[in-house]
Amino acid sequence: MSIEQRINNLIAAGWYVLDSDFDPAALQHWRVQAFHCCDDVLGSDHVTTKNLKIRSHLVLGLNSLNSRGPR
């Protein structure tokens, strides 16, 4: 997936959070999209990417981010 598409997905997820009045599931979906975007843009060793990965794992479980799909 292109970086532009990752950014567009992140923006769409952000709007979904706002439209849902900060629903916890919508916020978690945004965190996962933010993780994917940061991983592509900043790399897996960046502190922000690591932080989002940890936060996403706390809610979704350890294997949730392994099936990311094409980059």
Distance, CA of 35 to CA of 46 (rounded, Å): 11
Residue at 70 is within a domain: no
Distance, C-alpha 6 to centroid of its chain? 9
HEC secondary structure over 4-49: HHHHHHHHHHHHHHHHCCCCHHHHHHHHHHHHHHHHHHHCCCCHHH
Enclosing domain of residue 20: 3-60
What pLDDT is recorded for position 45? 94
pLDDT tens digits, 49-60: 988 888 777 655
The span from the first CA to the last CA of the chain, in angstroms, equals: 4
**pTM reported for the whole predicted model:** 0.74
65 lies in some domain: no
Number of domains the chain is built from:
1
